[in-house]
Structure 1
Amino acid sequence: MSLKEDPNLVASRPIRPLPNLIFMSRWLQLPLYLGLILAQAVYVFHFWVELTDLIGAAFGNASSLEHILTAVSIDGAPRGTKLTETTIMLVVLGLIDVVMISNLLIMVIVGGYETFVSRMNLENHPDQPEWLSHVNASVLKVKLATAIIGISSIHLLKTFINAGAYDIKVLLAQTGIHITFLLSALAIAYTDKLLNAAHGPNPHH
């Protein structure tokens, strides 16, 4: 039986030194993903600081209120002196923004490691993310683009809530950037659809 006919024999063949070195170079990405995990920890800390200040301000803590008002203030605009519905909304949107960026980090860390570095062997694990079961480079790009649109939407909403404090050029620029993100995501998704159609039906999609 030839090696071509027996995949087990093909898989057991040793890799030549140079291809093996090139293949092992993928582990150079490991410090990058570990760094993103540290960035995730910083976002978790930032989230709890903002949440603690919001709760403290709601109960009348002057120091927490000062931190909250400073966090949501806009350069050149008069700053409020009390906790209002708009201020609470801006803080909550900031917390949602942190969560969405954290979700983006998780997709990059887990999906990127699984796709470009090494298998995690999470099959049949009860906590395996649904999207990870069919992740590849194309799917990951579409999911990341979608996540960026969500983050951009939160930033745009925060700007529109305080639209009176911004120049019209800033509003138009942020709207234009958001539309650019949206069109880019649509282009990525459409390109992925064309590639899948060209290579035939893919059972993972």
Structure 2
Amino acid sequence: MSQPPTQRPRSIKPLLEHYLELGLFRSRWLMAPFYVGLVVALGALLIVFTNEAIHELSNVMTMSAEEAILMVLALIDLSLAGNLLLIVIFSGYENFVSKIDTGDDEDRPGWMGTVDFSGLKMKLIASIVAISAIALLKAFMELAEGKEIPDRHLMWLVTIHIVFVVSGVLLALMDWLAGKAEKH
């Protein structure tokens, strides 16, 4: 049976192109071991957190208020690093490898499956800025306690924090501008 003259015959992709594209698409699974490695790093971070908590809490009865605040800041710092790892693991896996099928699990975080690459960048930079701010605050608290901290070290902490903050603002500005450009 011949085709009507108004329709073109369907073009068939060459076999080589089909397998190349299929291979490229399936190569995303090469990222899966990276995320498994990050899960192992999260476990290592948990061990460090636990050791830090046990070590610090064993001295809680003799701590000054400043020492207690420094202990809390150190634990918050570690928990922020853990949160950062989870964001990268979940968002990266879902954005680049495969959707995580949790069924109807009520504990599934609401942001899972909704954070795109732009959102991931913003969450990452926000976490990095918070971690940097905590490191800076810890250094200032140690100074207030009379501990000697070299000026050069403080200068680098402040400089790095400012660079992270400016980078975050610039990333947010670029995303905002890109969003405005897409609407036009």
Report which structure shows greater RCO (CA 8 Å, sep ≥6).
Answer: 2
Shift of 1:93: 1.1
Shift of 1:44: 0.8
- For residues 123 and 191 of structure 1, the distance between their equivalents in structure 2, rounded to whole angstroms, comes to 35
Shift of 1:124: 5.6
1:180 matched residue in structure 2: 163
Is 1:151 matched up with 2:153?
Answer: no
- For residues 197 and 35 of structure 1, the distance between their equivalents in structure 2, rounded to whole angstroms, comes to 37
2:60–2:68 CA contact under 8 A, matched in 1? no
Q: 1:135 is paired with a residue of what secondary structure? A: coil
**Structure 2: which 5+ residue stretches go unaligned?**
1-16
Return the letter of the residue paired with 2:25.
F
**Structure 1: which 5+ residue stretches go unaligned?**
1-14, 60-81
- For residues 199 and 128 of structure 1, the distance between their equivalents in structure 2, rounded to whole angstroms, comes to 31
Q: 2:100 is paired with a residue of what secondary structure? A: coil
2:125–2:164 CA contact under 8 A, matched in 1? yes
- For residues 26 and 182 of structure 2, the distance between their equivalents in structure 1, rounded to whole angstroms, comes to 29
Aligned residue pairs, count: 165
Return the letter of the residue paired with 2:71.
V
- For residues 104 and 117 of structure 2, the distance between their equivalents in structure 1, rounded to whole angstroms, comes to 22
Cα root mean square deviation, aligned: 1.9
Larger radius of gyration: 2
1:108 matched residue in structure 2: 88
Q: Please give the TM-score of this superposition, normalised by the length of structure 1.
A: 0.74
1:44 matched residue in structure 2: 46
Identity percentage over the alignment? 35
| Alignment partner of 1:84 out of 43, 53, 64 | 64
Return the letter of the residue paired with 2:122.
V
Return the letter of the residue paired with 2:81.
I
Is 1:139 matched up with 2:119?
Answer: yes
Q: Please give the TM-score of this superposition, normalised by the length of structure 2.
A: 0.82
